[in-house]
């Protein structure tokens, strides 16, 4: 009887140990590591402003409404009295006024009209000149940006309280009104799928 009781107690203890071990294993199996996402507490806040523009003499340049920072509001450049052969650029300054770093993308880039070529690039020093080493985001005719627009995952790192620049150069190749619009997107990771802030420009206009 004693030996049977001892065996029973031993089996019971082994069973309890196995249950505890199984529970411990289940606990660690459920603790999954995420790759690519950042769970740092803090805020992202994207702002932008009309920074700079140029065009040939005789072309009117209007900053609408002005050069102040936009947060949840729209701004645009208007170029008036343009003609075939004219060229110029416009530069936007963007900043992350939040407390954590993020990545900037340029999304829903949409064009209206024809007879104009545009180049968009990450203008690191904001001088409106495309230089070696600066990332070209798009280069081609504005007509190829019609419809719902194109998304460009450029993943420009923008530190908390940091700023950078996106410039657009343009050259008119024919008559007619042209327009260009886009979204700046600031995300906490490089995939744009976690905690983001989006700012939308108004339609930039190029009028004869």
pLDDT tens per residue across span 105-151:
999 999 988 899 999 999 999 999 999 999 999 999 999 998 778 89
Half-sphere exposure of 145 (CA within 13 A, CB side): 29
204 Cβ contact partners less than 8 Å away, ≥ 6 residues apart:
76, 77, 78, 79, 90, 168, 179, 180, 181
Number of domains comprising the chain: 2
Kindly state whether residues 196 and 110 are assigned to the same domain: yes
DSSP structural state of residue 36: S
- Average of pLDDT values for 14-40? 37
Kindly state whether residues 26 and 65 are assigned to the same domain: no
Residue 16 class from Cβ within 10 Å (0-12 exposed, 13-18 middle, 19+ buried)? exposed
0.95 exceeded by the pTM? Answer: no
- Average of pLDDT values for 90-108? 95
Separation of alpha carbons 135 and 141, rounded Å: 18
pLDDT at 72 over 80: yes
Q: Do 194 and 102 touch, CB atoms closer than 8 A?
A: no
- Average of pLDDT values for 26-44? 44
Kindly state whether residues 25 and 54 are assigned to the same domain: no
The pLDDT, as a whole number, for residue 204 is 96
Max CA-CA distance within the chain? 111
Range of the domain at 54: 46-206
């Amino acid at each position: 009887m004693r030996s049977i009781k001892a065996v029973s107690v031993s089996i019971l203890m082994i069973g309890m140990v196995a249950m505890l071990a199984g529970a411990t294993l289940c606990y660690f199996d459920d603790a999954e590591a995420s790759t690519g996402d950042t769970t740092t507490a803090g805020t992202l806040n994207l702002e932008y402003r009309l920074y700079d523009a140029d065009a040939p003499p005789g072309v009117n340049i209007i900053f609408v409404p002005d050069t102040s920072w936009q947060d949840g509001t729209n701004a645009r450049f208007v170029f008036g009295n343009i003609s075939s052969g004219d060229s110029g650029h416009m530069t936007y300054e963007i900043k992350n006024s939040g407390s954590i770093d993020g990545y900037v993308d340029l999304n829903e880039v949409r064009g209206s009209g024809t007879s104009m070529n545009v180049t968009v690039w990450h203008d690191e020093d904001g001088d409106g000149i495309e230089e070696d080493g600066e990332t070209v985001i798009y280069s081609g005719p504005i007509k190829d940006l019609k419809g719902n627009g194109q998304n460009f995952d450029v993943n420009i790192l923008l530190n908390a309280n940091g700023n950078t620049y996106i410039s657009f150069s343009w050259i008119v190749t024919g008559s007619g009104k042209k327009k260009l619009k886009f979204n700046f997107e600031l995300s906490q990771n490089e995939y744009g799928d976690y905690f983001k802030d989006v700012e939308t420009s108004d339609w930039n206009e190029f009028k004869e």
